[in-house]
Structure 1
Amino acid sequence: MSVSGRPGPVLRLIQALRESPALLWSFLYFFCLLSGYYVLRPVREAMAASADLQTIFPTALIAWFDSHGLPLKDFTLQFLFTCVFLIMLVMQPLYGWVVSRFPRRVFLPVVYGFFIVTLLGFYAMFDSGVPGRGMAFFFWISVYNLFAVAVFWSFMADVFSNAQARAYYGYIGAAGTVGAFLGPIITSSLVQRVGIANLMLVSVGFLISCVFCVWQLRKWAVLREREQQLVDGEQPMGGSVLDGLKLIVREPLLRWLALMVLFGVGIGTTLYNEQASIVRRMITDPAASTAFYSRIDLAVNALTLVIQLGVTRWLLSRFGIAPALLIPGFAIIIGFSALAASPLPLMVAMVQVLTRASEFSLGKPARETIYTRVDRQWRYKAGAAIDTVVYRGADLTFAWVHKGLSLFGSHVVFAGGTLVAICMTLSALGVLREEKKLPRDR
């Protein structure tokens, strides 16, 4: 109980979980989803940073680059991100075909079933030390991270109304943050004893739990659709496999959402790459740089959890999505402006924490509430296209933009980042203008 006599954030969460079984299953679902991802995320980072090219790339690819006089090791991340984007272009129509042809009770387990089966394949690859396993795993987890989370939030918009989303999405996000805490702890505790291959099996266990949660939550999705006379999600959606991209081109709200994500990812990619450059120059000891990064991750997760439990629900329920979309943009503009004047590691770390925490705790939940007020084509097709193709396209674009700006120094990089943050904030205003035109819950 708080000093004022009102229940504190944790007690409010417990009360909400008791009152809403759907929230409880959603909470468990997102916790398992992000726990499973963060168990594997350190493996991706280790593969991408490995000095052993045989671990990352197939022998034939290394030989091809060598024969053409190209230093593959100098462009490892650029090569990987470029390939990830191309893979997304292939996967998006395939995903569109699945959600168009199969009902929700089929395609949700199919998506997670695909990831479970492929994880078992990676268990065999890492257990036997297959060359090129690092590249294959980097591609896989980049696809998994975006598609699995996009499917989750699309499904949440089936389960909850707009009012419920504003009340609950902060709590559901907090479940993911707790999972983000637990995953690395599991990895650091087990990897030395059981090896990387067995971590794949740990993640499989979490994904199987996700499928069970999906099965439990279906009845609330069906109930909401019947009560509000919505399109039955237990029937195939139909349409074209490219409907998601077509909707983004055609609908103003989706275009603004895509632009907001584009510039938001641009901010994160620019800051991430320049941070790595600054740390590489100023913190030469590997142990010290590892500790620096770990403290940033800890601070991000701690701040995110505090905001999700204490602020997000209140802000969305009381004032709607406008503050949650605009506050991060204004804060990032101020932070990048400060970095343009003084790009020191401590200042970079502070802005990194602010940027990531505000996106996880405010920006993402606010955007996802919008999908509770649109039809399922928007949620499962357009929303997924924004979270996959647009996201990875922005990642790739700004990785190369940073490469060019970095030739002129950190001051220019962060000045450019300030302009990107302004564009993101203007896109948020466009989203808010179009969002007002949507119908309210029936």
Structure 2
Amino acid sequence: MTQGHDDREPSAVPARRIRGGEWPAVALSFAYFFCVLAAYYVIRPVREQLSAAVGSTQLPWFYGATFLATLALTPIFAGLIARYSRRVVVPLVYLFFIACLFAFVPLFAQPDLLSPRALGTVFFVWVSVFNLFVVSVFWIFMSDIWTSEQAKRLFPIIAVAGTCGALAGPTITATLVNIIGVAPLLLVSASLLGVAVVCIVLLGRWARTHGERRFETGQEAPIGGSMWDGLRQVFSDPFMRGMAILLLLADGIGTVNYALVADYSGATFADAVSRTAFAAKVDQAANALTVITQLTLTRWLLPRKGPGAVIMVWAVVSMLALSLVVLATDPHAPMVFGLPAVAVALIISRGLAYGMAEPARHSLYARVPRNVRYKGQNAVDTAVWRFGDTAIALSMNALRAVGVTTAGFAGISAMAAFAAATIGWRLSRRVEETPPAATQAATP
């Protein structure tokens, strides 16, 4: 794969190292991402047992509501970043979600304040929006303070922090939920986000004094433009269109697997506690695979071969995992460690998606203009993602009506993985072969 001339490494060894002046910021980035993902995964099992209880046929309604919420919030975020600096907007996003967590506490502590179904629906949608925005803003901030060369070296390492947080979150929930209940867990999640805000402030100070981007024009200035720029870029900019399609294909794999496992869980386990425990087990297995991949294959492959190669490996292995479901006589029968083929496919595809595809995909944004990083990237990672969830879930219901089985859905996902490999490779070559100066000067 042809690399941009400014990103070449003098040898294979330096590509793996964290350089001396980078250590403080890498440590803060690590703590930041750990806290963000731990905060999410502390409350995720509550959402998961709800989706298993209602069945995947109801997911389009949840996804549709989440899409509308993200569609409303995306231009608000773009409007804020257009008028205020990142040192104001990025912490503000996390403070908003902390306030929401505090607002949910009395609703869970006193069930008579809101009906269980209404609370469950609102919480499902809110957690889904929360996940997308806190993670999206994290990666936007990372691509804004690290250069493209640094992103390839450091993103696989920084991504490990999120996986560690994702492993810690379900463990905290499993340990504490029977002791303190659900409501106090929301305060645990809020506390973790508070630590993330401290990391953001300290990282901003480091970037202003030591970051390699500190000499670029307007690094701390408001971006300007319209609140609709992010959504407009998805349709008008070829790179952003490609990134949106890549995300939709990846989302197709994840959403189909998620729905199949939700159906299995709902049909197999009779109570909320069992469904929650099963969801936590799947999360722990997927996250363990993610951290192993980040520490080994991605850390080696991304600096040497670039994002395209990493995305291609993820897609090919996901195709092989989905073939287990296609070929299995009974995809719901125990297969590995007592887990059925549908759960194994979900664990492998999700583990590699976060262990390989996500660091590679986000490293591409480090070479685009700030206006695209903050607006277009956020639009893709929030509104486009949840649009994909809604469209895919509705399509699954329509395909079920004409007789498509679990194996058929897995086969469709495998084809999506093949398309994702092709598009990811082409996008990577296009961005990597564009000189950084030309890319930064481009107008989306």
For residues 376-422 of structure 1, what are the alpha-carbon distances to aligned partners after superposition, in whole Å with 9 as ceiling and x for unaligned? Answer: 11111000000001100111111112222333322322222222222
Question: Following the alignment from structure 1 to structure 2, what is the Cα–Cα distance between the partners of residues 276 and 48?
Answer: 7
Q: Is the CA contact (8 Å cut-off) linking 1:27 and 1:175 kept in structure 2? A: yes
Deviates more, 1:220-229 or 1:37-46: 220-229
Q: 1:436 aligns with which of 407, 432, 436?
A: 432
The whole-number CA distance in structure 2 between the counterparts of 1:395 and 1:248 is: 17
Distance 2:432 2:48 in 1: 41
Report the TM-score, using the length of structure 1 for normalisation.
0.85
Work out whether residues 84 and 221 of structure 2, in 8 Å CA contact, stay in contact via their aligned partners in 1.
yes
C-alpha distance in structure 2 between counterparts of 1:227 and 1:423, whole Å? 34
Kindly state the Cα deviation for residue 424 of structure 1 after the two structures are TM-superposed: 1.7
The structure 2 residue matched to 1:356, chosen from 350, 365, 371, is 350
- Paired residue for 2:375? 381
Instruction: Measure the CA separation in 2 of the matches of 1:19 and 1:228.
Output: 14
User: Which has the higher mean CA deviation after the structures are superposed, 229-238 or 91-100?
Assistant: 229-238
Equivalent residue letter for 1:27: F
Q: TM-score, normalising length from structure 2? A: 0.85
**1:20 paired to 2:23:** yes
Partners of 1:227 and 1:383 in 2: CA distance: 19
Please give the residue correspondences for 1:10-409 in structure 2 after superposition, counting only pairs within 5 Å. Answer: 20-49=23-52, 76-129=58-111, 130-131=113-114, 132-223=118-209, 229-278=215-264, 283=268, 293-342=279-328, 344-345=331-332, 346=335, 347-406=341-400, 407-409=403-405
145 and 280 in structure 1: CA distance in 2 versus 1, 3 angstrom threshold: closer
Distance change in 2, residues 1:300/1:208 (3 Å): same
- Closer/same/farther in 2, CA of residues 296 and 49 from structure 1, 3 Å limit: closer
1-side partners of 2:277 and 2:370: how far apart? 44
Deviation at 1:197, TM superposition (A): 1.2
- How many residue pairs align between the two structures? 408
Deviation at 1:206, TM superposition (A): 0.6
- Between the aligned partners of 1:427 and 1:247, the Cα distance in structure 2 is 18
Native 8 Å contact 1:162 1:370 kept in 2: yes
3-state SS, counterpart of residue 232 of structure 1: coil
How many Å separate the matches in 2 of 1:308 and 1:250?
33
Q: What are structure 1's unaligned runs of at least 5 residues?
A: 1-11, 52-72
SS of the residue corresponding to residue 20 of structure 1 reads helix
**1:36 alignment partner AA:** A
Using a 3 Å threshold, how does the CA distance of structure 1 residues 419 and 237 change in structure 2: closer, same or farther? same
Q: Is the 8 A contact 1:300 1:357 kept in 2?
A: yes
In structure 2, distance between residues paired with 1:113 and 1:293: 28
Amino acid across the alignment from 1:204: A
Distance, in Å, in 2 between the alignment partners of 1:248 and 1:374 is: 14
Q: Identity of counterpart residues, as a percentage?
A: 35
Root-mean-square deviation (Å): 2.5
Say if 1:223 and 1:193 are closer, same or farther in 2 by CA, change over 3 A: same
Comparing 40-49 with 322-331, greater Cα deviation is found at 40-49
